[in-house]
Copies of this chain bind each other. A is one copy, B any other.
Amino acid sequence: MTAEEAYTELIRRSKELGVLNSCAAVLAWDQQTYMPRNGAALRGEQMAFLAALSHQKFTDPKVGELLGAVEGSELLRDPESDASANMREMRRAYDRATKIPQSLVEELARVTTQAQHVWEQAKKTNDYASFRPHLEKVLALKRQEADAVGYKEHPYNALLDEYEPGTTVAELKELFSKLTAELSPLVKQIVASSKQPDRSLLAREFPIDRQKVFAEAAAVAIGFDFASGRLDTTAHPFCSGFGPGDCRITTRFNPRFFSEAFFGVLHETGHAMYEQNLPAEHFGTPLGSACSFGIHESQSRLWENQVGRGRPFWDHFFPRLKQTFPSALAEVSLDAFYFAINDVRPSLIRVEADEATYNLHIALRFELELALLSGNLTTAELPGAWNERFEALFGLKVPDDARGCLQDIHWSFGGIGYFPTYTLGNMYAAQFMDSARREIGPDLLADDFRRGEFGRLKSWLLRNIHQHGQRYRAGELCRRATGAPLSPSPLLEYLREKYALVFSVC
């Protein structure tokens, strides 16, 4: 078999796996949206069948042979070629999948399924003690996973690799320490400001049917293609890109709070536009797949925050919003509304946090994850450590574990290494937006938004991010798109500038 033949066969298998995995994505979407209650058991069997088949095909020793037959061949002489990029990422994924023993994969699935059930209950009843042994097991298995995969310096690096290939603990520590060092005093200043918004105007009657129409119109305006996707309602919002021509987003509506569904829809639309713009001809292969969790998150945060919480966006949409909700917003000014959606205040719950304090929530989790994984922090010490660090960062006492270390699902499903990608997303979003603004021209871009036009920004994202799939790792993609490595500065500058105006702080 020639290298060309081996490569062609690898791509065929990769695309077949893409189709197989997209079947599971449809079933997972249905499970969250329309599946009747009693369908859960059968759905579990269906998902298990598809997952086992996918894993078996993915780790087939034949794949290893094919990879070997291509590597070192003339086919890869150009490191910038499609084949080189695809091979780099297929090798990475294959090695990772085959290094982890099947017994560990199964044990992780078993333990995390149970841990999620226990966590759900423990959060409801504020009972950390019941969750602790399960967290203990999850951590032990994740350490085994890190050992199996192999790592330099810190086992956390092996886990990070699943979400943010190429990023290291050392890099993250530096980014987070710079970010936290500047964010904490900024938040303190904001809290101390005598100028505070009236958040209650977002908590009036916003009929759900109108929220839906308004949010869908905004999604269309920024670029969601409803001929290639849908918006549905679920308990936990998400975006699922099945593949070319079919990407679905969900939200949840609160009839007494405007922001939840609307900014949620902008967020998921940002994810969806990335999926909708990946090159369809590469579907199922690395070149047709999103770069990393952090880059994916940058697309959602960019549209939700950088665009959707910006003044030019609302110059266009606010008159339409008032028409949609005439009684709730009758006497509300654009200034008051804009201030309300950009409120900053330390709060207990990550998912309800504003743009500034959000990253402090992540810094806390990153720090504790590192300590838990390395054994520097025991699960017995976790609640105390959480509460202590939380007070230091936010100036708030944590009243109970349900609103403290039990609030997030991630650790129960073994997602150690996942949290930092949220803040990476915020940083990438600010840095991408900063570059797009400078390249296109800040006035031109703001004028676009004021007219409800987003095509120029979309083109910039398509050209610099979406079309590349996994051609470059996240760090390299960032350097090529913005001319500089990832830095917390654009995010910090963006936040300082915005809050200087809205809160009159400097």
Contact = CB atoms under 8 A, between A and B. Distances in A.
A21 to B, nearest CB: 10
A46 interface: yes
A3 interface: no
Contacts of A41: 244-245
A22 B34 contact: no
A280 to B, nearest CB: 9
Given A23-B49, A27-B23, A30-B26, A42 B230 contact: no
Given A36-B245, A225-B38, A245-B40, A46 B22 contact: yes
A227 interface: yes
Contacts of A228: 36-39
A246 to B, nearest CB: 3
A101 B137 CA distance: 52
Contacts of A36: 226-230, 245-246, 248
Contact of A46 (B19, B46, B225): B19
A242 B252 CA distance: 27
A60 to B, nearest CB: 15
| Size category, A interface | 35 or more
A20 interface: yes
A75 interface: no
A16 interface: yes
B26 A46 contact: yes
Nearest to A30: B26
Given A23-B23, A42-B242, 18 more contacts: A19-B42, A19-B45, A22-B42, A26-B26, A26-B30, A26-B46, A30-B30, A34-B34, A36-B229, A36-B230, A36-B245, A36-B246, A37-B228, A38-B225, A38-B246, A40-B245, A42-B245, A42-B283
